[in-house]
Amino acid sequence: MPAPAAPDPPGVRSGVLLIAVFAIATCGIVYELLASTIASYLLGDSVTQFSTIIGVYLFSMGIGSYASRYFQRELIARFIEIEILVGLIGGLSSPVLFFAFSETAAFRLVLYGWVTATGVLVGLEIPFLLRILKDQFPLDDLVSRVLSLDYLGALAASLLFPLWLVPRVGLMRSSFVFGALNVAVAVWTCHVFRRHHRRPRLTAQAYGALALLVAGAVFSNDLTSWSERRLYDDPVVLSRASPYQRIVLTSGAGGVRLFLNGNLQLSSQDEYRYHEALVHPGLAAVAAPRRALVLGGGDGMAVREILKDARVETVTLVDLDPLMTEIFGANEAFAALNDYALRSPRVEVVNADAFVWLESNPERYDFIAVDFPDPRTYSLGKLYTTTFYRRLAAHLAPGGIAAIQSTSPLVTRRAFWSVVATVRAAGLDAVPYHAPVPTFGEWGFVLASREPYRRPDALPPGLRFLTPDGLPSLFAFPADMAAVPVEVNQLNNQILVQYHREGWTDYVRGR
């Protein structure tokens, strides 16, 4: 009979497991945030994605915690096995979810199945650790130590994720790195508790899983490129993530295309139609447009159109994302698309939240172009509310006009007319119009001012789409785009987001 194994020093054993609490708590929150962020990128509506995924994840953790009562023997070995499994499932979450989105119609089934599996395993971890450590500390001291480290790990993950992981490490590499951290806890536990589990095969499995995840982290850029090639029709020429969004540019037969969080924003083949229509019907109608403001539009295309009017002396561009303005200002290939407008001495670029910036900035402008993405989420929907348009009105100089991107009056008819109604509810005169943009179809705009709008008799030279004779047709709406009864969009109801979502859903379903 072999001699009994000498016990490990209690201090070493408890110290290792307490460090493990912090590590696994950090990893667990990162997996939750990864799944929510990827779902938001691919499906849109970040509020819905984060709410449902967090709910499913927490519920699954509860299932895992309850199930831990059925494990009574070989707790150290079971804990190591759980760490290996949660590291592999959490670490592979990004490549699996991107692949599932491009290859199967059952993406949501894969998404919530993966979240559930991760949550159940994470829910098993803390109960196992409490039971393993119960002989090392008094109960009240043990619970306070474990829970405080668990919450501290959650804080670390919630700060690391938006400030460093998304913009610097990337979603793909982050999942592999934190999966590897989970498995590293298993490897460490294998060695510290080797006299307890006595399973060389378990140690080999932990090292094998660790090697796989480290290899994934090393080749994560290649995996990211591969997954994005599956998502987009044309070759991806630039892919970057900021704390605010994922920016992808493709280039192919359809020209250069810009995608934000997977949603097409422009195509170089016909974006001039959209941006000429956004800018010139309003700008040309201002008697003396010395100062102009662009809210959103970090691609610089609206700024390019404004600079065609020689009467404009200064243009201020306010865009939330410095990465956007850097790409379209500093990158030669993409700056050429806006005729290097962001490098003009007449242009000032400000990276700020337009909603907040309008409240704190006292300046007034003769012309304002509002070029935000469609109100597909509540964070974007706030930029189409009466609150926002009242702030906008305060920045209009006497005789000034604001031109507002307002979604498609054909596809999202109620959303378009809700924007019109919301501008009027904010105390401004609202003049709706539309223009055909082949990539997107009929697109809508609203001119907002304090005085009645008068169409201009002349436009700047060199326009490719608009002509003075063609302007009146932009303001005529056929029967299928005519006004319909709608509610005003306010911060406390965000009805516009619902209108927009319903319009696109009905369009996709062919209703």
DSSP state of 349: E
Contact between residue 416 and residue 454 where contact means Cβ atoms under 8 Å apart: no
- Sequence-distant (6+) residues with CB within 8 A of 170 are 220, 221, 224, 241
| Amino acid, res. 277 | A
Sheet containing 246-252, strands listed edge to edge, beginning at the edge strand earlier in sequence: 236-241, 246-252, 255-260, 263-267
Q: DSSP assignment of 65-78, as one string?
A: HHHGGG--S-HHHH
Contact between residue 259 and residue 248 where contact means Cβ atoms under 8 Å apart: yes
Contact between residue 77 and residue 205 where contact means Cβ atoms under 8 Å apart: no
Report the DSSP beta bridge partners of residue 396. 365
For residue 289, give the nearest of 390, 397, 363 by alpha carbon.
Answer: 397
Q: DSSP assignment of 382-428, as one string?
A: GGGSHHHHHHHHTTEEEEEEEEEE---TTTSHHHHHHHHHHHHHTT-
Tell me how far apart the alpha carbons of residues 507 and 380 are, in angstroms, rounded to a whole number. 21
Sheet containing 429-437, strands listed edge to edge, beginning at the edge strand earlier in sequence: 347-351, 314-319, 291-296, 365-371, 396-405, 441-449, 429-437
- Sequence-distant (6+) residues with CB within 8 A of 2 are none
Q: 493 phi and psi, to 5 degrees?
A: -125, -30
Tell me how far apart the alpha carbons of residues 205 and 48 are, in angstroms, rounded to a whole number. 38
First to last CA, the chain: 78
Report the DSSP beta bridge partners of residue 255. 252
DSSP state of 204: H
Side-chain-side CA neighbours of 14 within 13 Å: the count stands at 15
Per-residue CA distances from 145 to 62, 79, 406 (Å): 20, 19, 53
For residue 86, give the nearest of 160, 162, 185 by alpha carbon.
Answer: 185
Name the residues annotated as catalytic. 371
Per-residue CA distances from 437 to 266, 373, 442, 443, 470 (Å): 10, 16, 6, 7, 15
Contact between residue 269 and residue 439 where contact means Cβ atoms under 8 Å apart: yes
